[in-house]
Amino acid sequence: MPARLRAAAVSNVGEFRRINQDAAFAASWAAGVADGVGGGPAGDLASAALVHRVTSGRPAMRDAEQLGARLRWANWDLAAHTRRDPALEGMATTYTGLWFTQAGMLLLAHTGDSRAYLLRDGVLSRQTRDDSLVQAMVDQGLLSPEEAAVHPRRNVITASLGGHEEDGVAVAELQPRLGDRWLLCSDGISDYVPHDELERLLQLAPSPERAADWVVRVALDAGTRDNATAVVCDIVEGELLADLPMFAGAAAERFVEGLESA
């Protein structure tokens, strides 16, 4: 039985930031979120450039290897920007995304500390591991998950895409199930909205559009000090469409030369 995404993306700069460094996209064939790395230059350019480049070309992927190649392409594009303008040296972005293959499998790609959650049968589970300093400390038994959630260095990440040869993205192949609901979000949401509250919102929302809006609104009400971006994707029955992606955040606000070409 063919399946596709019904997806929606919502992004808000928040009350404490001047620039939205999050970028997101949503389509029937893929969805994703990227978060420009704080402390570096042009985080909004990095996330927007990556999102635009990764969505260019044919929609459905052949397999995980092809998606990995597409992401390497996008990463090389960041390097090209830096070569043209040395002031951009150090810009980087996270990336977490879902992508359908031509055979109907679902690919989950991830680097950094943006997250993917899966709501299945009413239960929410986290599907990505943060590439971060505090996650490494949790893995080593130096911090509890509760301590990590409030640690002052919880936003220090250990992997991202910044145009370097050593940059990498983990890609997993999953079996999609009709009725599943996915949440992809930046840390401006996951750092401020508890897991149980995310689960409740995703259970109650009647549509991906409403769910993404609610998640961002709750993060803002919780006082998030970062940009807040949510992409909610329902697995629904139907053939993949040749639809253009809907962009949000920096990807909707920035136009970068050449990004529309494959």
| pLDDT, average across residues 63-80 | 96
pLDDT of 207-220, one tens digit each?
999 999 999 999 99
Q: Does residue 26 lie in a domain region?
A: yes
Beta-carbon contacts of 175 under 8 Å, excluding residues fewer than 6 positions away, are: 105, 106
Q: Does residue 222 lie in a domain region?
A: yes
Q: Does residue 261 lie in a domain region?
A: no
* CA proximity to 235, closest of 60, 59, 9, 4: 4
In this structure, which amino acid lies at residue 225? R
- Paired with 233 in beta bridges are 7, 182
Beta-carbon contacts of 197 under 8 Å, excluding residues fewer than 6 positions away, are: 218
The structural domain count of the chain equals: 1
Q: Does residue 172 lie in a domain region?
A: yes
pLDDT of 114-131, one tens digit each?
999 999 999 999 999 999
Whose tokens are 């009413």? That residue is 122
Distances (CA, A) of 49 to 54, 73, 86, 121, 227: 8, 11, 16, 36, 17
Q: Does residue 22 lie in a domain region?
A: yes
Residue 156 confidence class, pLDDT cut points 50, 70, 90: confident
Q: Does residue 260 lie in a domain region?
A: no
- The span from the CA of 157 to the CA of 134, in Å, is 9
What does residue 220 show for φ and ψ, rounded to 5 degrees?
-65, -40
pLDDT of 19-50, one tens digit each?
999 999 999 999 999 999 976 779 999 999 99
- Paired with 139 in beta bridges are none
Domain CATH for 163? 3.60.40.10
Distances (CA, A) of 4 to 71, 125, 223: 21, 21, 34
Residue 257 confidence class, pLDDT cut points 50, 70, 90: very low
Global pTM value? 0.93
Q: Does residue 259 lie in a domain region?
A: no
- State the DSSP code for 88: G
- pLDDT given for residue 262 in this prediction: 37
Q: What is the residue range of 230's domain?
A: 3-253
- pLDDT given for residue 121 in this prediction: 98
Contact 50, 96 (CB under 8 A): no
